[in-house]
Amino acid sequence: MKIHLKIWRQDERDGPGGMVSYTLDDVTEDMSFLEMLDALNGVLIGKGERVIEFDHDCREGICGQCGLMINGRAHGPLPHVTTCQLHMRSFRDGDTIYIEPFRAAAFPVLRDLKIDRSAFDRIIQSGGYIAAGTGSAPEANSILVAHDTAEAAFDAAACIGCGACVATCKNSSAALFVSAKTVHLSLLPQGKLEAPQRVNAMIAQMNAEQFGPCSNTEACEVECPQQISVLHIARMNWAFNKSRLLGRKG
């Protein structure tokens, strides 16, 4: 099929940019969306033009590196998939597809569709861990974790850090990302002790990174490739409010 594309091109960080139109022939249904972009880049190389820069790596939906705004939706029209899991069978011959980078003040564009998501790393650095030293842990079965607790912790821990939650949020809030980590760790007995400090430190860092406030529109849950529930945000709020009421900010 023939696909028309309008793609955001930008040369450098903080530089000007704009949408550029391309037309690509011979797109097949079994191509993944990123393979379609590979094909376009092949054409651009043939013409001697600079290729379209986009982030991607594992191409199986787990590394979290790919992430595009496709036709105005984070990771494209399907719910709960990453960009690399989107296939061209979701589009029709003659379609025009708009492709833009994930946008937020906290995610500056590096070039074209590549963005800088290091703000997420800095949030984890501020407290997204259990401070267990390496090499000296107690016997694993000495810490019992109820089956359902482990499953619930996993549901939160499944976050791939792609940033779709921020990209689709009208407030550019990172609440879903942050809550996934605070809830994962605080559900487990190993992580409970540090829970108040963790939630306060991570929320402070989230605000410092200029992510916006959460207003519970729940758009993040709809676009999240791992279907992380917005109830995690509520749980994070509960922990945060409780720690402030009890004066345990860490």
Enumerate residues 27-46 that contact another protein by CB under 8 A: 28, 30-32, 34-36, 38-39, 41-42, 44-46
Q: Counting contacts by CB under 8 A, is residue 58 touching another protein?
A: yes
Binding residues with another protein: total (CB under 8 A): 123
Q: Counting contacts by CB under 8 A, is residue 231 touching another protein?
A: yes
**DSSP string for 89-156:** GGS-TT-EEEEEE---TTS-EEETTEE--HHHHHHHHTT-S--PPTT----GGGS---HHHHHHHHHH
Q: Counting contacts by CB under 8 A, is residue 204 touching another protein?
A: no
Q: Counting contacts by CB under 8 A, is residue 3 touching another protein?
A: no
Beta carbons of 203 and 155 less than 8 angstroms apart: no
Comparing CB distances to another protein, the nearer of 23 and 125 is: 125
Residue 13 DSSP label:
T
CB of 22 to another protein, least distance (A): 15
List 4, 19, 23, 250, residue binding another protein (CB under 8 A): 19
CB of 215 to another protein, least distance (A): 7
Residue written as tokens 């833009």? 100
Q: Counting contacts by CB under 8 A, is residue 75 touching another protein?
A: no
Residues 216, 165, 5: CA angle, nearest 5 degrees: 125
Comparing CB distances to another protein, the nearer of 94 and 142 is: 142
List 50, 92, 248, 249, residue binding another protein (CB under 8 A): 50
In terms of Cβ atoms closer than 10 Å to its own Cβ (0-12, 13-18, 19+), residue 47 is exposed
Q: Cα–Cα distance between 206 and 97 in angstroms, integer?
A: 32
- Which positions ≥6 away from 230 have C-beta within 8 Å? 176, 216, 218, 220, 221
CB of 94 to another protein, least distance (A): 17
CB of 123 to another protein, least distance (A): 9
Q: Cα–Cα distance between 234 and 176 in angstroms, integer?
A: 10
Element (H, E) at 173: none
In terms of Cβ atoms closer than 10 Å to its own Cβ (0-12, 13-18, 19+), residue 138 is exposed
Query: x/- string (CB under 8 A) for another protein, residues 129-168?
Result: xxxxxxx-xxxxx-xxxxx-xxx-xx--xx-xx------x
List 104, 176, 195, 228, residue binding another protein (CB under 8 A): 104
List 2, 20, 23, 89, residue binding another protein (CB under 8 A): 89
Comparing CB distances to another protein, the nearer of 23 and 29 is: 29
List 1, 24, 63, 204, residue binding another protein (CB under 8 A): 63
Strands 96-101 and 3-10, by their bridges, are parallel
Number of neighbours of residue 119 by Cβ within 10 angstroms: 22
CB of 246 to another protein, least distance (A): 13
